[in-house]
Structure 1
Amino acid sequence: MADEGDILTDLDLDPAAGANGADNQPSVGFLTQYIKDLSVENPNAPASFQWNEAPQVDLQLNIGATEAGDGVHEVEVRVNASAKADSGVLYAVELIYAGLVAVRNVPEDQAHAFLYAEAPRILFPFARAIVADATRDAGFQPLLLDPIDFNALYMQRLQQKAQEEAQAGGAAGDPAGAA
């Protein structure tokens, strides 16, 4: 049996390599990870360093995955963070941190779960560090994002989607539901 290191590094995606049936093992792994986009704004410096009021921090996090090639997907963790006070904006950070993930011989539902729950869980600590460094380098206290349970969010989203589909199916099939 291959050890975990072999699974993550031996991601030969050539379909001919497994033609004899000897290489049908499911495998997933990161090929690379990178900053796709980073923007840091400190629009009111140096005046903002004099403000004494506590800022309101707005944080938005989004996950996305797109197919980048045969068996390779790009997973993105998007973080938008801004701090505003009554006097104005202290900072705004926009980050897209991404990774290329190879997926081979994995059932579709399991691949989907990996791309939208497990891969973001692996990428998030790096994105978290970049945001903390960016806010610190802009002259403010580092913005330390709390850890996120991507698995729970993924399961919650699946349940929400199933409820929406059930409601849409019930409304479409029930003529009394249309008023």
Structure 2
Amino acid sequence: MAENETNGAEAAAPQQAPQVKMNVLAQFVRDMSFENILAQKGSSGDSQPDVQVQVNLDAKKRQPDHQYEVAIKLKVDSKTKESGSQLFLMEIDYAGVFHIENVPDEQLHPFLLIECPRMLFPFLRRIVSDVTRDGGFPPLNLENIDFLSLYRQEIARRAAAEQPKADA
């Protein structure tokens, strides 16, 4: 009798989805530039900086199965608050190669543009801090980036761009 109860319990248990598997295979700086405009002008850095940061994300499938490349492209523009003159400009394209398995197709796009950048960001933040410090400025410690919010904004922007086409 106990044998039948066990089989019944196993049959009633819902099948679990396979566990998501993600490994970071590599991280690298694809491209980077840092222009110290303040030093080029021969000025002193006694003014308050106004720092603007632009973030773009990109993801693409790589040749081996289950491999994807995700890139964070950052543009950091620092100007003086008083006169608006340029202090420095930094552009960096930081990428990671990920091995990802068991993510449903409908969830893969958000996974690549939310979870993967979250994994890369602490390393990118460190590079930005080191480069700005080595460039003669106080280290720029970037605030955390809400990649979920960025993803939602991009989806809304794309939907708004498609709206006029649908109405025409």
Instruction: Give the aligned partner of residue 77 of structure 1.
Output: 72
Q: Percent identity?
A: 39
CA shift digits 1:110-132 (9 cap, x unpaired): 11111011101111111111111
Q: Tell me how far apart the structure 2 counterparts of residues 73 and 97 of structure 1 sit (CA, whole Å).
A: 14
Stretches of 4+ moved more than 6 A in 1?
none
**Bigger Rg over Cα:** 2
The CA deviation at 1:140 is 0.5
Q: Tell me how far apart the structure 2 counterparts of residues 117 and 145 of structure 1 sit (CA, whole Å).
A: 17
The CA deviation at 1:138 is 0.5
Residue 113 (1) aligns with residue 113 (2): no
Residue 30 (1) aligns with residue 24 (2): yes
Q: Tell me how far apart the structure 1 counterparts of residues 123 and 26 of structure 2 sit (CA, whole Å).
A: 13
CA shift digits 1:45-66 (9 cap, x unpaired): 2723x24332332211111111
Name which of 59, 62, 67 aligns with 1:68: 62
The CA deviation at 1:165 is 3.9
Q: Tell me how far apart the structure 2 counterparts of residues 113 and 164 of structure 1 sit (CA, whole Å).
A: 19
TM-score of the aligned structures, taking structure 1 as reference length? 0.71
Instruction: Give the aligned partner of residue 42 of structure 1.
Output: 36
- SS of 2:33's equivalent? strand
Instruction: Give the aligned partner of residue 6 of structure 1.
Output: none
The CA deviation at 1:98 is 0.6
Name which of 130, 135, 153 aligns with 2:150: 153
TM-score of the aligned structures, taking structure 2 as reference length? 0.75
The CA deviation at 1:160 is 4.1
Q: Tell me how far apart the structure 2 counterparts of residues 90 and 134 of structure 1 sit (CA, whole Å).
A: 14
